[in-house]
C-alpha cells in the first residue's frame, strides 16, 4: 500500500478540533451575578469533573470525518496484479528482419538465428495464452492476429523473410503503446534482434513503454567489422558518355584500415576498376570518368571485394538513362540578343542539361518541323507573320506547349499570339512613387510558380498590361497587374510572361531564381512534368499518376524478382507504389512513361554497432515490469502490477460518516435546546 500525496497526512492534526469542541470548551461556565465576593475565601477551583467528553458518538464521527478527509487528499493506493485483475496476458514476439539481419553468423544468418530464438520463446508460452508474431523493419507487419494456436504462431515465425528496410525501434514502441491502450491487458514483449544502435529513434522518449508492458530483449550476434559502398553520386540522365563522372564513397564501420578494390559494372559487365584506401572507421572515395551506356535505361552498380559478414552492402545499384537532349525552339527576331542569351544560359546551365536550344527567326520558324521540338518559345513578338501564327496555333492545339515573353515591343500587337488575350499597353514605375514592383499574389501549387516565394527581392520597373478575360492568372505584381497567365488551347497550353527574358524591364535575370523559373516553365510546357528520381532508398514511393489524372488507366510495377507489385485494382487507381526491395524496378506510369528505378538499402544498417547495455536496460525498464536480475525482490513487487486507488471508497465512506454526523448532531442539539428551555421556565 502507498500514498500518492503523503504530505496531506498533515491534515490529521485537525483532529484536535473536535477534542477542543467536546472537551476543553466544556470547562467554561456562564458567569452569575452576585452582590459581593469579599466574604468568600480565595481558592483554586478544580475543573476535572468537567474534563470529560460529552456526546462520545458525535465526537468519534467528527474525528473520523477529519481523518477520512486527510486520507482522501493523501490519495492512498494498493498494488494489485494486473494479471489478477484481468486474468489474461498477451505475449508479443517481435522478429527483426531489417537489412542488417542478413549478416552471417557462422553458416547461418542473423535472421535464421532470430527465428530459432523466437521458436524457443513460443515454446515457453503457457498453453492457452494468447500471443502475436510481428516482423519489424521500417514498418511493423503483424504476421498473426492475437491467437493461442501454437501451430499457426510457429508457422508465422517460419514465414518471416529477409527485408531491405532499416530497423526502427520507435515503430515497435508506438505499436506496443497502442496495443496496450486498445487491448487493456498486460503485454510480455520479446524483441529478437541484433539491437543496432542506428535503429534507435532520435529521441529516447519515442521508446517509452506504457505500464504493464514487460520487454525482454534477445540479442542476436554482436558488433563486427564491415565495409560498405555507402553512396554513389551519378547522373540519372546522360547525353555525352565521355563527360560523365561517377563518384563512390566506401566506408568502414568498426573496421581497421584496408585497401578495397572498387568495380564499376554496366549491364552486368565490369567496365572499370580502381583501388581505394579506407581509413580505420573512416571513408575513402573513388571516381570513374566516362560511361559508354547504351540508349535507354542502363543497370549500373558499384561493387567492392569485401570479405566481411554482411555481403549485401558490398554493392550499390543505380540507374542511368542515355538520351539526346530535348530541343526547345526559341523564336526571336534578333533585336534583343540578350533575351536569347539569358534564356539559353538558364536552360543549359547544367553540363548534363536535358535541353538544347535552337534559335530561329520568325520567318524561318513558320516552316519548321515542330514535331522535333518539346516546346516553342516566342520572345517579344512585334510582328507575327500569318504562317507563323498558323503553325504555332496548330502545334499547340495538337498538344504542344508555347511560352510567350510579352515585352515592351509586343505592344505593337493587339493580342498575345495563340493565347488571344488583349495587350492593353505598358506601365512604368514612377521615380517619385513606387519606383518598382515586386511579386504579389501567386498560385503556390502550380509547378511553374513553386519557387516564386524566393522572388521577394526581384524588382520590376516596367510591365505590359494584359487582359484576363480568357486566361487564368497565375501570378500578379504588387500593383495587381497580371505577370504570368495560362490558357489551354486545344490539347496544349500557352504560358504568357508579361516581361522580357533580359534585364531591360526587371533584374530577374541577375537573380538565382531565374534559372529554376525558366527550367520549371520549360519542363511544365514540355509535357515531362516533374522529373521523377530513379535512384532512391528502399521504402521510397514512385509516383504512378498525378492527382486525378489518368484514373482508370493501368500502371505497372515489377520488382527486382520480376513479380508484380500492384494488384489489378491498384494498377488502375493507386497514385503511387512503395519500393521495398533493393534492386531494379521496372515501372510504367499511367501516362505511359517507362522508368527503371534503382533502390538501395539505407546504409545506416551497415553499422553493426550494438545499443549500449545501459540504454537496453533503461528501455526495458520504461514499462515498469522487467526483472533486471539486480533486485529480484523489487522486481517481484512491481512486476505486472498497477496501482489501485482507494480514493473512491474513502469518499463514499466519508459521505456516510458525514450523513451520520448530521443526524446525531441534530438529535443532541435538539435535546440540549429543550433542556435549557425547561430550566429557564
Q: How far apart are CA 214 and CA 82, in angstroms?
A: 12
**377 Cβ partners below 8 Å, 6+ apart?**
328, 329, 330, 331, 343, 402, 403, 404, 405, 522
Q: How far apart are CA 210 and CA 187, in angstroms?
A: 10
Q: How far apart are CA 387 and CA 366, in angstroms?
A: 5
Alpha carbon distances (Å) from 6 to 66, 70, 71, 651:
15, 9, 9, 17
Q: How far apart are CA 76 and CA 643, in angstroms?
A: 9
| CATH fold of the domain at 535-600 | Immunoglobulin-like (2.60.40)
Position 21 scores a pLDDT of 65
**584 Cβ partners below 8 Å, 6+ apart?**
299, 317, 319, 560, 596, 597, 598, 599
Q: How far apart are CA 58 and CA 523, in angstroms?
A: 92
C-alpha cell at 445: 501549387
Residues of the chain with pLDDT under 70: 1-2, 4, 8, 11-13, 15-16, 18-55, 79-87, 351-352, 431-434, 451-456, 527-531, 546-552, 624-642, 668-681
Q: Where are the beta strands (DSSP E) in 438-534?
A: 439-442, 462-466, 472-477, 482-489, 492-497
The domain spans of the chain are: 2-32+44-82+647-680, 90-224+609-639, 226-323, 326-525, 535-600
Backbone torsions φ then ψ of 523, nearest 5 degrees: -65, -40
**61 Cβ partners below 8 Å, 6+ apart?**
657, 660, 661, 664
Position 434 scores a pLDDT of 67
Top CATH class of 326-525 equals alpha beta
Top CATH class of 90-224+609-639 equals alpha beta
**258 Cβ partners below 8 Å, 6+ apart?**
227, 252, 277, 278
Position 73 scores a pLDDT of 78
Alpha carbon distances (Å) from 32 to 36, 493, 523:
12, 114, 112
The answer to whether 345 touches 509, Cβ cutoff 8 Å, is no
Position 83 scores a pLDDT of 46
The string of pLDDT tens digits covering residues 590-608 is 878 899 999 999 999 999 9
CATH number of 226-323: 2.60.40.10
**Three-state SS at 631:** coil
User: ∠398-402-403 over CA atoms, to 5°?
Assistant: 170
- Return the sign of the alpha-carbon dihedral for residues 339, 340, 343, 349: negative
| CB atoms near residue 641 (< 10 Å) | 21
Position 257 scores a pLDDT of 95
Position 174 scores a pLDDT of 95
Strand partners, 383: none
The string of pLDDT tens digits covering residues 323-364 is 888 899 999 998 889 999 999 999 888 766 778 899 999 999
Identical topology for domains 226-323 and 535-600? yes
The answer to whether 165 touches 96, Cβ cutoff 8 Å, is no
**Three-state SS at 293:** coil
Position 137 scores a pLDDT of 92
User: ∠107-189-608 over CA atoms, to 5°?
Assistant: 40
Position 638 scores a pLDDT of 46
| CB atoms near residue 633 (< 10 Å) | 6
Amino acid at each position: 500500500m502507498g500514498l500518492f500525496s503523503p504530505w496531506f497526512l498533515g491534515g490529521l492534526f485537525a483532529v484536535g478540533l473536535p477534542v477542543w469542541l467536546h472537551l476543553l470548551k466544556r470547562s467554561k461556565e456562564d458567569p452569575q451575578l452576585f452582590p459581593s465576593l469579599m466574604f468568600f475565601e480565595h481558592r483554586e477551583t478544580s475543573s476535572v469533573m468537567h474534563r470529560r467528553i460529552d456526546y462520545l458518538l458525535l465526537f468519534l464521527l467528527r474525528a473520523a470525518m477529519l481523518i477520512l478527509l486527510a486520507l482522501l487528499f493523501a490519495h492512498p493506493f494498493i498494488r494489485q496484479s494486473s494479471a489478477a485483475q484481468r486474468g489474461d496476458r498477451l505475449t508479443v514476439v517481435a522478429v527483426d528482419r531489417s537489412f542488417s539481419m542478413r549478416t552471417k553468423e557462422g553458416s547461418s544468418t542473423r535472421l535464421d538465428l532470430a527465428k530459432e530464438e523466437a521458436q524457443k520463446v513460443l515454446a515457453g508460452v503457457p498453453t492457452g495464452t494468447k500471443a502475436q508474431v510481428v516482423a519489424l523493419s521500417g514498418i511493423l507487419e503483424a504476421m498473426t492476429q492475437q491467437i493461442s494456436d501454437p501451430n499457426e504462431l510457429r508457422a508465422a515465425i517460419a514465414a518471416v523473410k529477409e527485408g531491405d528496410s532499416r530497423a526502427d525501434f520507435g515503430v515497435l514502441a508506438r505499436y506496443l503503446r497502442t496495443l496496450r491502450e486498445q487491448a487493456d491487458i498486460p503485454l510480455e514483449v520479446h524483441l529478437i534482434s541484433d539491437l543496432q544502435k542506428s535503429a534507435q529513434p532520435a529521441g529516447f522518449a519515442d521508446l517509452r513503454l506504457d505500464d504493464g508492458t514487460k520487454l525482454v530483449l534477445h540479442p542476436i550476434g554482436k558488433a563486427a567489422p564491415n565495409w560498405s559502398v555507402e553512396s554513389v553520386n551519378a547522373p540519372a540522365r546522360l547525353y555525352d558518355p565521355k563527360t560523365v563522372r561517377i563518384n563512390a564513397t566506401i566506408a568502414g564501420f568498426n573496421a581497421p584500415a584496408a585497401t578495397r578494390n572498387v568495380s564499376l559494372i554496366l549491364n552486368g559487365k565490369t567496365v572499370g576498376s580502381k583501388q581505394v584506401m579506407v581509413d580505420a572507421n573512416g571513408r575513402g572515395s573513388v571516381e570513374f570518368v566516362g560511361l559508354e551506356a547504351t540508349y535507354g535505361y542502363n543497370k549500373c552498380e558499384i561493387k567492392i571485394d569485401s570479405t566481411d559478414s554482411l555481403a549485401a552492402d558490398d554493392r550499390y545499384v543505380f540507374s542511368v538513362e542515355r538520351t539526346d537532349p530535348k530541343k526547345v525552339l526559341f523564336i526571336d527576331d534578333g533585336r534583343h540578343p540578350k533575351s536569347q542569351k539569358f534564356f539559353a544560359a538558364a536552360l543549359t546551365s547544367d553540363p548534363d542539361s536535358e535541353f538544347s536550344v535552337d534559335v530561329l527567326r520568325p520567318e524561318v520558324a513558320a516552316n519548321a518541323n515542330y514535331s522535333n521540338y518539346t516546346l516553342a518559345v516566342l520572345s517579344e513578338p512585334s510582328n507575327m507573320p500569318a504562317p507563323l501564327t498558323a503553325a504555332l496555333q496548330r502545334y499547340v492545339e495538337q498538344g504542344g506547349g508555347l511560352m510567350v515573353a510579352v515585352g515592351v515591343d509586343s505592344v505593337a500587337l493587339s493580342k498575345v499570339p495563340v493565347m488571344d488575350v488583349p495587350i492593353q499597353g505598358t506601365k512604368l514605375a514612377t521615380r517619385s512613387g513606387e519606383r518598382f514592383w515586386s511579386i504579389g499574389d501567386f498560385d503556390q501549387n502550380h509547378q511553374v510558380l513553386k519557387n516564386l516565394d524566393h522572388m521577394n527581392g526581384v524588382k520590376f520597373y516596367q510591365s505590359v498590361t494584359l487582359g484576363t478575360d480568357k486566361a487564368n492568372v497565375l501570378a500578379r505584381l504588387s500593383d495587381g497587374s497580371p505577370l504570368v497567365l495560362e490558357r489551354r488551347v486545344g490539347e496544349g497550353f500557352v504560358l504568357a510572361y508579361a516581361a522580357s527574358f533580359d534585364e531591360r524591364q526587371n533584374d530577374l535575370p541577375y537573380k538565382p531564381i531565374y534559372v529554376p523559373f525558366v527550367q520549371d516553365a520549360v519542363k511544365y510546357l514540355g509535357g515531362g512534368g516533374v522529373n521523377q528520381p530513379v535512384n532512391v532508398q528502399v521504402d521510397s514511393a514512385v509516383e504512378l499518376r498525378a492527382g486525378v489524372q489518368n484514373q482508370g488507366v493501368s500502371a505497372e510495377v515489377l520488382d527486382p524478382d520480376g513479380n508484380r507489385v500492384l494488384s489489378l485494382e491498384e494498377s488502375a487507381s493507386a497514385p503511387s507504389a512503395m519500393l521495398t526491395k533493393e534492386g531494379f524496378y521496372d515501372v510504367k506510369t499511367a501516362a505511359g512513361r517507362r522508368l527503371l528505378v534503382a533502390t538501395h538499402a539505407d546504409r545506416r544498417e551497415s553499422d553493426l554497432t550494438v545499443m549500449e547495455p545501459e540504454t537496453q536496460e533503461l528501455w526495458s525498464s520504461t514499462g515498469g515490469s522487467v526483472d533486471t536480475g539486480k533486485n529480484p525482490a523489487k522486481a517481484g513487487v512491481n512486476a505486472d502490477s498497477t496501482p489501485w486507488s482507494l480514493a473512491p471508497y474513502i469518499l463514499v465512506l466519508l459521505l456516510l460518516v458525514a450523513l451520520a454526523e448530521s443526524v446525531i448532531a441534530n438529535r443532541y442539539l435538539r435535546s440540549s435546546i429543550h433542556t435549557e428551555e425547561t430550566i429557564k421556565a
